[in-house]
């Protein structure tokens, strides 16, 4: 049982578990009581003026806690809109490799500021409605994500948005053109040169990005057919102008451990090899260790020597 006023808990439940010190004061909960509740583990205090009811919030993933913080940010700053990585999440787009410790906001202020649990910048561009609240457009959000978190992170999320039909490459280019003098915009410009709508997962986006960055040009989702025109398989990537196939092995395909799935994949690979293709398999571990490019280069060298 919680010692918090039930009215405050009900209010917090309607606000993704969050409430402000002003709201607490309206039900008679002052500073000392709030401190005591934090000490007792009933409340979480992420930043000045903001609290979370512990049993109403989810710390299970960085994304889940980021959602709570974003809701709290809108309570603290009613004139704010979400932007950057927070807005990308608000639009239902996945992210990879981004620091989610602080939600990103935009407000009608003259300079960007860093506060305890939010990142606040000057408001620019159009605002649209999302389930999380007012936010930057999809294109502007993706551009800001690349600027804030990096080129590869931007590629992963922008590829996902392109697949979902939430944005076009032209939208991204227009957003970059509008922000041509913004600090770090070169990262977004580089990101835009690497995006591809045909990649089907975050792993494929990272794999394709790593290879293209290294100067290995790959064509995604290529159908391989035998001499009779029969489809042997659609491969993740074919190195342009070669017979080297690159397959990204995420866990999902083989997670069931179904022998029939594994056997079908083996037969598919055997048929590709029989047609003269070299198959290189890239895993998440290869991407993390930076060995993906070396594996493909080794395969290219072997294919050239054959």
Q: pLDDT confidence of 211, banded at 50, 70, 90?
A: very high
pLDDT attached to residue 253: 53
Residue 61: φ, ψ to 5°: -135, 155
Residues, the chain, total? 306
Which of 106, 17, 24 has its CA nearest to residue 65?
17
What are the residues facing 226 on neighbouring strands?
none
pLDDT attached to residue 247: 95
pLDDT attached to residue 254: 45
- Is-above-0.75 flag for pTM? yes
E strand residue ranges, the chain: 18-20, 43-47, 50-53, 81-82, 104-107, 113-114, 119-122, 127-130, 133-136, 218-225, 231-239, 244-249, 278-283
Q: What is the DSSP string of 147-198?
A: HHH-HHHHHHHHHHHHHTTS--HHHHHHHHHHTTTSTTHHHHHHHHHH--TT
pLDDT attached to residue 1: 42
pLDDT tens for each residue of 120-168: 988 889 999 999 999 999 999 999 999 999 999 999 999 999 999 999 9
pLDDT tens for each residue of 266-284: 788 889 999 999 999 999 9
The mean pLDDT of 53-58, rounded to a whole number, is 96
Q: What is the DSSP string of 263-291?
A: HHHHHHHHHHHHTT-EEEEEEHHHHHHT-
């Amino acid at each position: 049982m919680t010692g918090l006023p039930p009215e405050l808990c009900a209010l917090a439940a309607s606000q993704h578990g969050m409430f402000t010190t002003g709201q607490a004061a309206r039900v008679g909960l002052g500073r000392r009581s709030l401190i005591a509740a934090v000490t007792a583990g009933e409340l979480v205090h992420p930043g000045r003026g903001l609290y979370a009811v512990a049993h109403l919030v989810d710390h299970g993933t960085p994304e889940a806690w980021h959602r709570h913080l974003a809701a709290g940010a809108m309570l603290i700053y009613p004139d704010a809109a979400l932007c950057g990585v927070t807005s990308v999440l608000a639009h239902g787009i996945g992210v990879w490799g981004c620091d989610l410790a602080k939600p990103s906001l935009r407000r009608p202020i003259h300079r960007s500021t860093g506060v305890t649990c939010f990142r606040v910048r000057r408001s620019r561009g159009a605002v649209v409605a999302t389930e999380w609240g007012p936010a930057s457009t999809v294109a502007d959000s993706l551009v800001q994500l690349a600027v804030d978190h990096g080129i590869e992170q931007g590629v992963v999320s922008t590829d996902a948005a392109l697949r979902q039909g939430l944005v076009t490459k032209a939208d991204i280019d227009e957003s970059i053109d509008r922000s041509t003098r913004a600090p770090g915009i070169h990262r977004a410009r580089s990101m835009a040169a690497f995006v591809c709508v045909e990649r089907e997962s975050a792993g494929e986006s990272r794999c394709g990005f790593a290879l293209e960055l290294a100067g290995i040009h790959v064509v995604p989702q290529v159908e391989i057919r035998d001499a009779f025109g029969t489809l042997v398989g659609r491969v993740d990537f074919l190195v342009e102008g070669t017979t080297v196939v690159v397959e990204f092995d995420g866990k999902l395909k083989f997670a069931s451990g179904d022998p029939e799935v594994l056997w079908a994949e083996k037969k598919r690979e055997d048929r590709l090899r029989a047609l003269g293709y070299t198959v290189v398999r890239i895993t998440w571990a290869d991407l993390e260790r930076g060995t993906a490019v070396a594996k493909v280069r080794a395969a290219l060298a072997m294919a050239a020597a054959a």
